[in-house]
């Protein structure tokens, strides 16, 4: 038995140590990659939720805008403003619009 053991080649300690470090490095790279993918997916999910909230808010604003009554803003040079309902202006015959130009 002793002769058989003497004839076996023993792997030097440096090679065994380097194989252990290589395995540890592979594990570190795999864990880092998994954490990066998880963080990216979580960020995409958060963006998707935010997009859904913004879309819902946009629909609410569009609904409010479609239901709003048209108004006219009259402004003087000194900064005074008069906001009038457009329907009330159309029923009065003594008021004529100065311009139909919009400033949007």
Q: Is residue 55 part of a domain?
A: yes
Show the domain range for 63: 2-68
Q: What is the pLDDT along the chain (104 residues), one digit of tens a residue?
A: 555 555 566 768 888 899 999 999 999 999 999 999 999 999 999 999 999 999 999 999 999 888 877 677 777 778 777 777 766 655 666 665 556 556 55
Distance CA 18, CA 66 (A): 71
Q: Is residue 87 part of a domain?
A: no
The structure's pTM equals 0.51
Q: Is residue 85 part of a domain?
A: no
For residues 97 and 86, is the Cβ–Cβ distance under 8 A? no
Q: How many domains does the chain have?
A: 1
Distance CA 24, CA 54 (A): 45
Q: Is residue 64 part of a domain?
A: yes
Structure tokens at 2: 């002793």
Q: Is residue 58 part of a domain?
A: yes
Q: Is residue 97 part of a domain?
A: no
Q: Is residue 83 part of a domain?
A: no
């Amino acid at each position: 038995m002793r002769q058989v053991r003497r004839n076996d080649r023993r792997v030097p300690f440096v090679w065994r140590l380097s194989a252990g470090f290589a395995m540890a490095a592979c594990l570190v790279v795999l864990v880092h990659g998994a954490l990066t993918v998880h963080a990216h997916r979580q960020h995409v999910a958060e963006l998707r939720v935010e997009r859904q909230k913004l879309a819902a808010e946009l629909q609410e604003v569009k609904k409010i805008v479609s239901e709003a009554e048209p108004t006219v803003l009259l402004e003087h040079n000194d900064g005074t403003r008069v906001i009038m309902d457009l329907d009330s202006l159309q029923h009065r015959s003594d008021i004529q619009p100065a311009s139909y130009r919009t400033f949007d």
